[in-house]
Amino acid sequence: MHMGGLFRYSKGEALELLPEKYLPKTRRFDERPENAEFYKTDFDFPFICKPDFGERGKGVWLVRNEGDWKKIYSELDEPFMLQEFVEDELEFGIFYYRILGVNSGVFSVTAKGFLSAVGDGESTLKELIQSNMRAVGREEYLFDRFSSELDRVLPKGETLVLEQIGNHCRGTEFIDANHLINDQLVKVFDEITKDIKGFHYGRFDLKVRSLEDLYKGETIKVVELNGVNSEATHIYGQNFTLGKAYAVVLKQHRLAYEVAKKNLEHGFKPQPLSTFVKELYAHLRS
């Protein structure tokens, strides 16, 4: 993974490191094809379109129909990926590490709660969106997407998922799910990563049909693989104080140090400082 996944690395190339059975169908493009219907070779609606180089959900779209695609296609001006949309409801961010000659483990598990409206039997969908704290800044987009339903009153207890892309900037709630960490989960990720040369630290953003399948290593589809720039995103859970969050961040950086230290002892060569400075400058400019 370029620069260890710190910055300026291809998301598509990172995914290609993984065994095929853990991947949704994904295609990477360096530039926009002239024929707007090129997607039809491999994809049916809905599918995901996102930048090949990007972070924090910027430029990620769920393409539901031809109208969505026409708008998105016209704005493609950088390397991008198309990816099968995985329908499974469970989505996790699982932070895994391996310290050569010492141990491996799962440092963090984050469950994701998608932005939703829950009916009270009285409020219209528009009112529910307006009163949802997690929808702040997304109202215009949501009003446009649900324009034909805004006056509908959701029955009490009915849940309507408003956004199916699991990023903070899309209103997703990050939930501390570290209670799911056990030896079996570590074994699953030992197996997933055993043939990935040089990968010892990073976060798997994945979907899976059930917890039972997760522990069996089945139906797992990794939609994104992050390297050294990974966050232990469970710190954004509601019960975390700022102090607790910083403590986790410090522990995470200590873990990165231990991984790097052992890698050097086993003959890995670090990037030259000049390369790091050059890449950092290019990253900041972009």
pLDDT band at 281 (very low <50, low <70, confident <90, very high): confident
CA distance 179 to 110: 10
CA dihedral 166, 168, 170, 175 (to 10 degrees): 50
pLDDT number for residue 58: 75
pLDDT band at 56 (very low <50, low <70, confident <90, very high): low
CA distance 90 to 69: 26
CA distance 104 to 102: 7
Residue 269 predicted with pLDDT over 90: no
Residue 57 predicted with pLDDT over 80: no
Report pLDDT digits (tens) over 118-161: 999 999 999 999 999 998 888 998 999 899 999 999 999 999 99
Q: How far is CA 207 from CA 13, 72, 89, 165, in A?
A: 19, 24, 7, 11
pLDDT band at 22 (very low <50, low <70, confident <90, very high): very high
All structural domains of the chain: 1-23+89-114+182-286 (3.30.470), 25-85 (3.30.1490.20), 116-162 (no CATH)
DSSP code per residue over the chain: -GGGGSSS--HHHHHTTS-GGG---EEEESS--SSGGGGGGT--SSEEEEESS--TTTT-EEE-SHHHHHHHHHH--S-EEEEEPP--SEEEEEEEEEETTTEEEEEEEEEEE--EEE--SSSBHHHHHHH-GGGTT-HHHHHHHTTTTTTPBPPTT-EEE---S--GGGTPEEEE-GGG--HHHHHHHHHHHTT-TT--EEEEEEEES-HHHHHHT-S-EEEEEE-TT---GGGGSTT--HHHHHHHHHHHHHHHHHHHHHHHHTT--PPPHHHHHHHHHHHHH-
pLDDT band at 7 (very low <50, low <70, confident <90, very high): confident
What share of the chain in percent tops pLDDT 70?
99
Global pTM value: 0.89
Report pLDDT digits (tens) over 166-223: 788 888 999 999 999 999 999 999 999 998 888 999 999 999 999 999 999 999 999 9
pLDDT band at 3 (very low <50, low <70, confident <90, very high): confident
Amino acid at site 22? Y
CA distance 166 to 175: 12
Report pLDDT digits (tens) over 63-122: 999 999 999 998 898 999 999 999 888 999 999 999 999 999 999 999 999 999 999 999
Residue 2 predicted with pLDDT over 80: no
CA dihedral 201, 107, 181, 92 (to 10 degrees): -70
Most confident of 50-64, 233-247, 265-279: 233-247
